[in-house]
Structure 1
Amino acid sequence: MLALTAIHHIAIIASDYRKSKAFYCDVLGFELLAETYRAERDSWKGDLALKGRYVIELFSFPSPPQRPTQPESCGLRHLAFAVADIDEACAALQRAGVTYEPVRVDEFTLRRFTFFRDPDGLPLELYEQ
């Protein structure tokens, strides 16, 4: 068995790098740690942190293919972010013009959660701790 210690990062490919960078930083509160343009690939790479912890590599590539279906395609289903207060988090999404699903209750944990999407339709979840 491998001796894994943590998840290091999540890589996301955006169709519009600047729009997605603004969404993750200005709406969700990530901090841009570093940003690199790779001319040979015509690609941007942004390193995003949450509360000082490196979490997301945000990439752009010319003409990336769309996900085949939502959300039940094979592979990553969604990313979930923990929040202390789901109502406060939903209000912040609403102020930013982000549409989200009605808040539901997890039948097993009895915690409240909701889903919304990033600019490319990637399913994201807010899960109340």
Structure 2
Amino acid sequence: MQLQQIHHIAIICSDYAVSKEFYVGKLGLQVVQETYRAQRQSYKLDLALNGLYQIELFSFPEPPPRRSQPEACGLRHLAFSVKDLEAAVAELNEKGIITEPIRVDELTGKQFTFFQDPDGLPLELYES
């Protein structure tokens, strides 16, 4: 087996409309396809970033809660690369999204910060 690249990341949300507005309206991801699966009472929203398919956003009736602090077992966080971290943080804050103070990666010297999606999933902005 030879892995080529990450194909997509799947996220299950508790409130589809709120999460769709967050990822599309506030973060600016593009909708590739939106499907309602009646047998599962579930939406599947395929999202792209800069034209590249990246995230599947799912809704299910009453999904169980998941620990989501960055140090919990499992997926730690989802990171997005940005060219100007301070401008990106200002834009998120203007949209009512609270970010942590900007930090510096001790290994790379790059700036980064964390914020959360509507379900508390840790998201990171990392300056490229």
Same-fold status (TM-score > 0.5): yes
Give the residue type in structure 1 aligned to 2:33: A
Which residue of the partner structure matches residue 54 of structure 2? 55
* Unmatched runs of 5 consecutive residues or more in structure 1: none
Taking structure 1 as the reference length, what is the TM-score of the superposition?
0.97
Deviation by residue 1:53-111 (Cα, 9 ceiling, x = unmatched): 00000000011111135222211010000000001100110110000000000001000
* Unmatched runs of 5 consecutive residues or more in structure 2: none
Deviation by residue 1:25-74 (Cα, 9 ceiling, x = unmatched): 11111001100000110000000000000000000001111113522221
Distance 1:50 1:68 in 2: 26
Secondary structure of the structure 2 residue equivalent to 1:55: strand
Q: Name the count of aligned residue pairs.
A: 128
Percent identity between matched residues is 62
Distance 1:89 1:68 in 2: 27
Matched, 1:15 2:14: yes
Following TM superposition, the consecutive aligned residue runs of length 4 or more in structure 1 with deviations greater than 3 angstroms are: none
Secondary structure of the structure 2 residue equivalent to 1:54: strand
Give the residue type in structure 1 aligned to 2:97: V
What do you get for the CA RMSD once the two structures are aligned?
Answer: 0.8
Alignment CA distance shift 1:18-1:125 (3 Å): same
Which residue of the partner structure matches residue 24 of structure 1? 23
Distance 2:31 2:67 in 1: 29
